[in-house]
Structure 1
Amino acid sequence: MTTGQPSFPRQYARTQRFTLGAPRGYSLSPDGARVVFLRSPSGTDRAQRLWVLAVDEGREFTAADPQTLLAGADEELSAQERARRERTREGSAGIVDYAVDAAVELAAFTLSGRLFVCELRAGTTRELPVQGPVVDPRPSPDGRHVAFVADGRLCVVAADGGADGTGNGGADRVLAEPEGPGITWGLAEFIAAEEMGRHRGYWWSPQSDRILAARVDDSPVRRWWIADPAHPDREPAQIPYPAAGTDNADVTLALLGLDGSRTEVTWDRARYPYLARVHWSAAGPPLLLVQSRDQRDQRYLTVDTATGATRTVHDDEDEVWVEPFPGAPGWTPDGRLVRIADEGGARKLFVGDRPLTGAPLHVRAVLDIGEDDVLFSASGTDMKDIGVYRAWFRGSGDQGGWERVGGRPYPTVSSAVRGGAVVVLSQASAERPGARVEVIRLDADGGEKTLATIGSYAEEPALTARPRFALAGDREIPCAVLLPTGYTDADGPLPVLLDPYGGPHGQRVVAAHNAFLTSQWFADQGFAVLVADGRGTPGRSPGWEKAVSRDLAAVVLEDQVDALQALAETFPFDLERVAIRGWSFGGYLAGLAALRRPDVFHAAVVGAPVTDLRLYDTHYQERYLGHPAEEPAVYAANSLVTDEGLSGAVEPHRPVLIVHGLADDNVVVAHALRLSSALLAAGRPHEVLPLSGVTHMTPQEQVAENLLLLQVDFLKRSLGMERPAAR
């Protein structure tokens, strides 16, 4: 019987994991009167629109509609824009990003490489005629100019489309242009965007008269070729890829004046080649966070804007590694350094040399620095509960301590953006789909008042996730278990499917309903699904994250096995039928499980895995395993395709399905092909599913839908389960 409702795999694919129609990308005016955000008009429409909420009126209106601005034409993306979206895992369309001036009166964005500006109070939009294709436009703080990147040039144009006060009429002006091939101005290099969380390459001065710009020379970086075997008539794409142990791009900075002046910024780039963070606000001079190549030392530098010279204001060192964090560093209004650092086994928020937080809080990001306090996100004793907090550094709260913002009587996954005394607070929970988004006024004494809510057009999922949270084993590994809808004890033991990410920067066990939708769907196909966050995953403690140093494979696999065996005492696990699936690091972990612990695991779906760790990028891989020239044995022992890596591959042979996108420029398909070759050479049967035209994030609707169905079919076949049509 047909209900007319799409299957979950189809709905999951069409809604882009239920993100379409949900509000995101908030900006607040300093007076809290306007909230700017992105949202598509329905749960299946990919085209994001720019919206404004007039808080006092409680009125939302569309400020910019891409379909109107493009007159219904399809979007055309430049190669640089496609690369930016891949790095940010952006799969939607329309206005996917924007930037505003200091007053949040003017927004700038691109569509099909064309530059548009929007007057946010009136909701009127116009195109600025500039030479494109335009990437990453940003208004000056005073709203008079818009800077942007086009073909590696950093340019500026008057925001009103008229004379820009420089004697150049209304035309765009080039502030810096490439001096040769492989050079760009104003863009983040590959590893900054992929691994450091820095997606920008230029920063306006608070006075709107200069720009601090990154010059990237990737000519030292080894070239790789990404071909499309399904279209042999097409020329392969050449990409610079800094694999572990090879040369990185050369990144420098310069201060570029609108008057044509140029001042080079200098620091010890031989010792600190990585530019991880840049901050420039009215509270102090430009701040740089630079790292050594081994990432055991990072320095906070201030820039003398007259000479370009830098001075160290703080130095963090760690015998394992140091970590850059979102939103830090920054300045308080009275000129004190705001940073996040590990101290005494805890991850703390510091203002100057003074810690504002301590255990059990595990600080994750700085969200805003106010006149008297810092807004930040953190997890506490309950790792799945990620809250928004404020801590005071002066005034009535200067005696220390912190408090939660928008507290709920249940765990949440929360984030926030602040403008003045007003906060946009987004809170997801395990109890219901999506997130509740509220506009809240914060009082100086810690009081709160809800001013408005921002609605979501996201679709309701066709199923309800019911995670059961637990701490497994002696190490108290955070876990979630999902059983089939309607399961009772009389149904008996179930085949088990482990569904981890299980590695650095990827927490799966969180208090958010939608995080478990795919796991619940797999459970409804007849599995007991286990999601476990072992050592190496974020949110618990520095020691928990850094336990994987130089021993990545053994540690992460051990925790998956321990969690499975510990929870088998409580949940209906059939340990004679255990499978594992994963993507990216999770795919690597699934490969480890099938090859090294076939006594525990009976089948594996290995998706987009990193198999030869020498083929992944410098900043990520060298952080955990060191330099391959200095520690070759570490790379060999942790890889899946080396003799040492396969030496742990013991009998019996278990069914393995390797899945990989042929257009992946992050984890290139060579990883999957080398694993397949190694398995074939070892006489180990396996299956390979190549995905033509698919990158690392698999945004295509048909691919995302059918990939779920094919995995279920493989798992049921491999575990000897009945194979009715997946629901």
Structure 2
Amino acid sequence: MQARTQRFTLGTPRTFQISPDGSRVLFLRSASGTDPVHRLHSFDVASGTETCLLDPAALGGTEEELPAEERARRERSRTRGSGVQGYSCDAEHRIAVAALSGRCYVVELGAGRVRELPTAQAIVDPRPSPDGAHVAYVSEGRLRVIGSDGTGDRELAGEDGVSWGLAEFVAAEEMGRSCGYWWSPDGRWLLAARVDATALPQWTIADAANPQSPARTVGYPAAGSVNAEVSLTLISLDGQRIPVEWDRETHEYLAAVHWSEHGAPLLAVQSRDQRSLQFRTVDTHTGRTELHYEQTDPVWVDLVDGVPAWTASGELVTVRAADGAYRLFLDDRAVTPDGMQVRSVLDVGKDVLCTASMGDPTRIHVYRVDADSVQQLSTVEGVNGGTRRGDAFVLTSLGLDEAGVRATVHSGSRALELESLAVAPPLKPQPELLELGERGLRAALLLPSDHVPGTKLPVLLDPYGGPHAQRVLAVANAFTTPQWIADQGFAVLIADGRGTPGRGPEWERAIHHELAEVTLADQVDALHAAAEHCADLDLGRVAIRGWSYGGYLSALAVLRRPDVFHAAVVGAPVTEWGLYDTHYTERYLGTPEENPQVYQRNSLTDEASGLRSEMLIIHGLADDNVFAAHGLRLSAALLKAGRRHAMIPMPGVTHMSPTDEESAEHFLLFQLDWIKRALEVR
């Protein structure tokens, strides 16, 4: 069921946009909890009825032929499923625009009519101008524009070997910036990114299972190497160009762009060492930029979704590390209280809509913030988010009491729930949320549903355990797989250690230069504290499994602490940090040239001879984020050291793990069977 429902997410409404008058909410949803094809829907607030506006099946079928740029965008955003995966509207919601199999479709929202624009084929990221008169898009790395009536298709910017209008790899993978062009509020200009990746190291991804297929070469910005060269140009619809100027030698990362009617275009540009983040305004007549504010930090400056931005009154909205918390600032005034950890900014108008945790990192609420007050809008004790337009907003909530996402439209005094077609999991997770050890590590302990106290249980740790991601949240769906594993006769422990979000700058910066030592120590401490809390944990039979950073942590556990961990499933691990990307790796470890010892003590292959426990390595051979070289080099080092291990190479699989139903099902079943045999569980 998990495989068929894409982890019980299909059929859930998502990607909301609200009309200016609050009368209509657009959203995406598939037709059932097992249908992977997403469609564009409209919800009428007055009548409470919904209409399907854009259905791929009605346009010739649901089979997809995606351009390479679109496949890359979906990989960076970890997007599964098919059909309408994104859409954009003009300011007044007269039209919505979406791409299907590289073709551009316009939905006339008033009439409900759908028509295809005669664009160049293989399009990516179409977006209408705010006035609805034009649609910009990218095709084969070239930025183009066409009238929304289908006339005047033309190229605005394009060069062989260089892309225009697309985010480069590290921006999309690590900075949270998926856009590569931005419309001016009046719809007459675009601010476009030019990305020259020709100097990047060229890495090869081969389809080893199909040697007749040609290998694919990609530019990859490995730690210590060069980044893609990113610049910005203002381009008018009639072809005028104004280069945007800032010191790209000192601040080479373009982290964010904001262009609204409330002020000049804003750029967030970051230095290579990530200790400086500048917010610069752009003079649209000359292209010159002026420093508006600079954040600095001796370790690193964080990037936060949704900032910088202007309020309606022209105040600069930022999130800064101050007083032990990530605080929301309007200009130079902190407007959130001590102890509130701001997670993201959702919307900026007369006030600010943001998400934050107050005291408890397992709960994330939505707040409305202005210069004088902070108001909590969400009530579900779990993870909340949403979007807003004017006085209407959509609130999404996940909690422990029920599975799935609840999406509620709030307009005036009305609160209307959008229908979810998601399949409910056939089991109810029963996590015990804990604070463990002297650091109060947030953890979840799951025992078999029919557990008899006094019965010893083998233990499986199931962490991510690294930066940017939390596993321990007050959300039922986060624990469906762990509960299923627990019901097979395990105690499953999930712990968020230092470096994970939600507990403030000092907590996150504790891993600086010490990814391995700090994150592993917290997993060991959590295990021992959990065993003191629950005497039924059998510390003589302990396994650990993880993916990506969790895979790295799992390998680290059995290599360095075989006295604690007896088996590890190591999924898509980073094993040599010199093989991972610049923006992520250098934030925590610096560059390999500056800190060779730091890289050595945080990498794994040199420690292969220390393996005394069981290890299963799993790696997708098509992974363009954590390349298969990581898993293969670890396996080769273990073989050279004479250390027994197992490895599953997965042809055609990327960093997202298997996506087809059969492979996804057996991917989990095989891991469970292997862990049972490794721990001699019967």
CA contact (8 A) 1:478 1:533 kept: yes
Match for residue 354 of structure 1 among 329, 333, 345: 333
Match of 2:16 in 1: 26
**Counterpart code for 2:66:** L
Q: Which residue of 1 aligns with 2:120?
A: 131
Aligned partner of 2:284 in structure 1 is 305
Give secondary structure in 2 for the equivalent of 1:563: helix
Quick check: 1:379 aligned with 2:369? no
Residue 153 of structure 1 pairs with residue 142 of structure 2:
yes
Give the letter for the 1:213 counterpart: A
Q: Which amino acid in the other structure matches residue 83 of structure 1?
A: A
Moved more, 117-126 or 424-433: 117-126
Identify the residue that residue 513 of structure 1 maps to in structure 2. Answer: 476
Would you say 1:688 and 2:658 are equivalent positions?
Answer: no
Map of 1:528 onto structure 2: 491
1:567 alignment counterpart: 530
Give me the whole-angstrom Cα distance separating, in 1, the residues matched to 2:62 and 2:634: 43
Gap change, CA 1:282 and 1:510, over 3 Å in 2: same
Q: 1:57 aligns with which of 47, 62, 81?
A: 47
Deviations 1:58-96 (A, max 9, x none): 110001101111x12621011111111100101110001
* Secondary structure in structure 2 of the residue aligned to 1:135: strand
Q: Which moved more, 1:706-715 or 1:694-703?
A: 694-703
Residue 156 of structure 1 aligns to a residue in which SS? strand
- Give distance in 1, aligned partners of 2:111 and 2:484: 45
Equivalent residue number for residue 676 of structure 2? 716
- CA offset digits 1:579-608 (Å, max 9, x no partner): 000000000000000100000001000000
Q: Which residue of 2 aligns with 1:675?
A: 634
The answer on whether the counterparts of 2:572 and 2:655 sit within 8 Å (CA) in structure 1 is yes
Of the three residues 616, 622, 625, the one matched with 1:666 is 625
Residue matched to 1:3? none
Determine the C-alpha separation between the residues in 2 that align with 1:132 and 1:359. Answer: 52
Aligned residue in 1 for 2:613:
654
Which residue pairs with 1:414 in the alignment? 384
Choose which of 593, 602, 605 in structure 1 pairs with 2:557: 593
Distance 1:252 1:600 in 2: 50
Paired residue for 2:662, among 702, 708, 714? 702
CA distance in 2 between partners of 1:569 and 1:586 (Å): 24
**SS of equivalent residue, structure 2 residue 533:** coil
Is the 2:463–2:546 Cα contact (8 Å) retained in structure 1?
A: yes
TM superposition shift of 1:171: 3.2
* TM-aligned CA deviation for residue 469 of structure 1: 0.1
Q: Which amino acid aligns with 1:378?
A: A
The 3-state SS of whatever aligns with 1:14 is: coil
- In structure 1, how many angstroms separate the alpha carbons of the residues matched to 2:377 and 2:559? 46
Q: How far did residue 692 of structure 1 move?
A: 1.2
**1:64 and 1:124 in contact (8 A); partners too:** no
Find the counterpart in structure 2 of residue 165 from structure 1: none
Q: Distance in 2 between matches of 1:232 and 1:594?
A: 35
Counterpart of 1:452?
416
Deviation at 1:233, TM superposition (A): 0.4
Matched, 1:117 2:114: no
- Residue aligned with 2:339, SS: coil
Cα offsets for 1:125-160 (capped at 9, x unmatched): 110011121100000001111000001111111112
Deviation at 1:517, TM superposition (A): 0.9
Q: Deviations over 1:239-266 (max 9, x none)?
A: 1100000011000000000121100000
Residue in structure 1 matched with residue 304 of structure 2 by the alignment: 325
Q: Per-residue deviation at 1:359?
A: 2.3
What SS does the aligned partner of 2:443 have?
Answer: strand
Contact residue 195 and residue 620 of structure 1 kept, 8 A = yes
Aligned equivalents of 1:21, 1:122: Cα separation in 2: 26
Runs ≥4 in structure 1, deviation > 6 angstroms?
none
Matching residue of 1:428: 398
SS for the counterpart of 1:437 is: strand
- Once residues 171 and 259 of structure 1 are traced to their aligned partners in structure 2, the CA distance between those partners, rounded to angstroms, is 11
Corresponding residue number in structure 1 for 2:56? 66
TM-score by length of 1: 0.92
Contact kept? 2:37, 2:62, Cα under 8 Å: no
SS class of match (1:266): coil
Residue 2 of structure 2 aligns to a residue whose secondary structure is helix
- Of residues 467, 472, 475 in structure 2, which corresponds to 1:504? 467
| 1:295 to 2:259 alignment | no
- Would you say the 8 A contact 1:27–1:104 is kept in 2? no
1:333 deviates by 1.0
How far did 1:700 drift? 2.2
CA distance in 2, matches of 1:255, 1:335: 22
Q: 1:73 to 1:486 in 2, by over 3 A?
A: closer
Partner SS, residue 96 of structure 2: strand
**Superposition RMSD on alpha carbons, in Å?**
1.0
CA contact (8 A) 1:347 1:358 kept: no
What corresponds to 1:392 in structure 2?
Answer: 370
Find the counterpart in structure 2 of residue 177 from structure 1.
Answer: 158
Equivalent position of 1:8 in the other structure: none
Q: 3-state DSSP class of the match of 1:325?
A: coil
Structure 1: distance between partners of 2:263 and 2:145: 24
For 1:405, the aligned partner's letter is L
2:209 aligned counterpart, secondary structure: coil
Offset at residue 450 of structure 1 (A): 3.5
- Residue 14 of structure 1: aligned partner: 4
Q: Is the 8 A contact 1:580 1:603 kept in 2?
A: yes
Q: Is the CA contact 2:62–2:83 (under 8 Å) kept in the aligned structure 1?
A: no
Pick from 238, 245, 253 the counterpart of residue 259 of structure 1.
Answer: 238
Counterpart check, 1:472 vs 2:436: yes
Q: Percent identity?
A: 53
**Per-residue Cα deviation, 1:257-303 (whole angstroms, up to 9, x for no partner):** 01211000000000000000000000001000000000011100000
